[in-house]
Amino acid sequence: MSTAPAKRKPADYKSGLKPIWCPGCGDFGVLASLYRAFAELDLDPARTVVVSGIGCSSRLPGFVSTYGFHSLHGRPLPVAMGVKLANPELDVIAVGGDGDGFAIGAGHFPHAARRNVDITYLVMDNEIYGLTKGQVSPTSLTDQRAPSTPWGNLETPLNTLAFAVASGASFVARGASFNTKALTELIVQAMEHRGFSYIDALSPCVMFNNHQEEWKELVTDVAPDHDVHDKAAAFDLALKGGFKLGIIYREQRETLGQKYQALVEASKASDVDAMLDAFSARKGAAIGKPTA
């Protein structure tokens, strides 16, 4: 009698590099949830890619035993898109922080979402710039005092959940680093979801913006009767305040990769010689636009 190969354990996804994060950083909870989710999904480390941008949280790929791509500030989404479109067999997850994703990288977010690229995007949201020592981020609260806002933050925080729903993300959820069991489950569901999945993970910065205790007080689960397929209800939930944990929206929609696959299959197969034929001075050229 043959036995099924043993399922991988969370520890199997540890790279052996020690995280550089400050003691108590919320990102530890996110990383632990990620290890558990990967184990639960039994992902093959050789076929999994973790892509990040720049910042404290973006050092995460180094701590995971899968393939990793530690890219540039704000760029994890286009990089992850390229990885996934080039090899649809891979499981691709992009990770980063709120500054990375919603300041410098904000231009990429709606496009990844509307394209419905089959990747998961996990943002460790601490409402601050940690690595550069505490300046405000796009999700920082109004009036917050920080080194760059000595008179208080004059700006309104970005509602990333509403942004995600508005942009066409097909899976939108919020978790918290201090609730690893639920966050693990969200990551599992997001990675199982076919399409662009966005998870906002509350992840306190203990050095510069420690909201851990307040957040623990404030968070409640999304009501069980919330209809995750109802976009208006999802907006409503996103706009009412950010402290509902769970899935707020999901829809099943063809992914960009599936559409390209269909396009490739529908295309008339060709090769370089046939392409050169189309430029032939004698037989190919026809009046109109230069032959394409």
Partner 1 sequence: MTARSSVVIRLAGESGEGVISSGDILTQAAARGGYWTQTFRTYPAEIKGGPCMYQVRMGGERIYSHGKRVDLLVCFNQEAWDLHWDSLAPDGVILYDQTAVEIPEAYAARARPVRMEQLAREIGGSLRAKNMVAVGAVAGVISFTTTPIEELVLRRYAHKQGVADANIAALRAGGDEGADLRGSLAIVDPVEVEEDRILLSGNQAIAVGAVAAGLRYFAGYPITPASDILEWLSAKLPQVGGITIQCEDEIASISSVLGASYAGAKAMTATSGPGLSLMTEMLGYAGTAEIPCVIVDAQRGGPSTGLPTKTEQSDLQHALYGGHGEAPRVVIAPTTVEDCFWSAIDAFNYSERYQVPVILLTDQGLATRMEVIHRPDTSAVELWQRATAAGVQGGYRRYELTPDSVSPMGIPGQEGGQYVATGIEHDEHGHPAYTPENHVAMQTKRWAKLEPLRNGIVRHESYGDERPDIAIIGFGSTYGAVREAIDLARAEGLSVGAFYPRVLGPFPAERVEAFCAGARRVVVPEVNFTGQLARLVRGECGLRVESHAKCDGLPFTAEDVLDVITERTPA
Query: Residues in the site for partner 1, rule: CB under 8 A?
Result: 17, 45-49, 51, 61-62, 65-72, 75, 77-87, 89-90, 107-108, 111, 260, 263-264, 267-273, 275-276, 279-282, 284-292
The pair of three-digit structure tokens given for residue 30, joined into one six-digit string:
């996110």
Q: How far is the CB of 74 from partner 1 (least distance, A)?
A: 8
In the complex, the smallest distance separating the C-beta of residue 34 from partner 1, rounded to whole angstroms, is: 15
CB of 270 to partner 1, least distance (A): 4
What end-to-end distance do the CA atoms of the chain give, in Å? 61
> Residue 233 in contact with residue 162, Cβ under 8 Å?
no
Residue 89 vs 225, nearer CB to partner 1:
89
Tell me whether residue 142 or residue 270 sits nearer to partner 1 (CB atom).
270
Q: How far is the CB of 264 from partner 1 (least distance, A)?
A: 5
Kindly tell me which of 181 and 268 has the beta carbon lying closer to partner 1.
268
Give the separation between CA 68 and CA 94, rounded to whole angstroms: 10
Nearer to partner 1, 75 or 211 (CB): 75
- Please give the Cα distance from 88 to 162 (Å, whole number): 28
Q: Name the minimum Å distance from CB 202 to partner 1.
A: 26
Q: Which two tokens stand for residue 83?
A: 């990885």
> 């995280």: which residue's tokens?
19
Q: Which is nearer to partner 1, 67 or 235 (CB)?
A: 67
Do 257 and 84 contact (CB within 8 A), yes or no? Answer: yes
Helix axes 26-41, 180-192, angle to 10 degrees: 50
Can you spell out the DSSP letters for 56-92? Answer: SGGGGGGGBSSEEEE--TT-HHHHHHHHHHH-TTSEE
